[in-house]
Structure 1
Amino acid sequence: MAQLMEDKVFMAFSTHAAIVILKMMLMGPMTAYFRVTRGSFANEEDVARKSAEEKKKLLRSHPDVERVQRCHRNDLENIVPFMMVGLLYALTGPELSVALLHFRVFTASRLLHTVAYIGKLPQPSRGLSYLVGVVVTFSMAYSVLSSALLL
């Protein structure tokens, strides 16, 4: 493990992995914020202390809450594969400059995706940022498979 902590590629991966994981984790509190500010709750116990009439108003969906939840779900669908593939990629010993390019582009794409999604930016901003992240993950997966097939 000590050797890994000295590997610049692994440290770069660890840094970018931590950034995107923290970004993904912040989507939960962001959902809670939107629920409270938009008065949109999903569970009966969330509004248990309210009157029957208030409960009817609060137990509903809201487009902004659903938007944050879709963004969070998209993170789960993209960051988890990045973590797995990125770790394998880092362990194959790629060139530091190429690895940094992969990690930085993926991190930037996920941050831009969130800004585009939550900020309701016009397409193709969200679609392109999503696609860039997917391409980066596929590129790393291709590199891992190419390295493994050479053994």
Structure 2
Amino acid sequence: MRHVISALVQNVPGVLSHVTGMLASRGYNLESLAVGETEDQHLSRMTFVVGGDDSVLNQVRKQLEKIVTVVQVDDISSKDYVERDLMLIKVAAKDQQRAEIHELCAIFRGKVVDVGPENVVVEISGPEKKIEAFIDLMRPLGITEMVRTGRIAMVRGVNRNGGTEQ
């Protein structure tokens, strides 16, 4: 089972390496990790995807809560949440393939962000399954390079105080 964990951490040097080092030293494999500053410049949000049963989730959560720079830990996979990945993908593109790539971009709500003489770079965001489906369609054209962010996620309809928005 996959768990999406959101951790609010102090925005200080070394917090990322401290957290990931602690998880790695205990043998936990992160399937995905994304970190970015929040609306408060003193805090960052780390979003992890961790595989394992509930005991693994509980252990990860306990270990994270022991770290001084971790402010809050939340398993959001058990809640109603929105998640997104972002990908840049460079695809080989001859003249006759460019129209097909543009058409698929429109269907997947992607955007061509760079065009070269022999390739096209596409930006696409969405749930993991959407990203994977787009990759599968691009493989026959020839993927020359690809980079993806880690998963980011946010619980729907909950305000800062933890209550449900009206």
TM-score normalised per structure 1: 0.31
Structure with the higher fraction of residues in helix conformation:
1
TM-score normalised per structure 2: 0.29
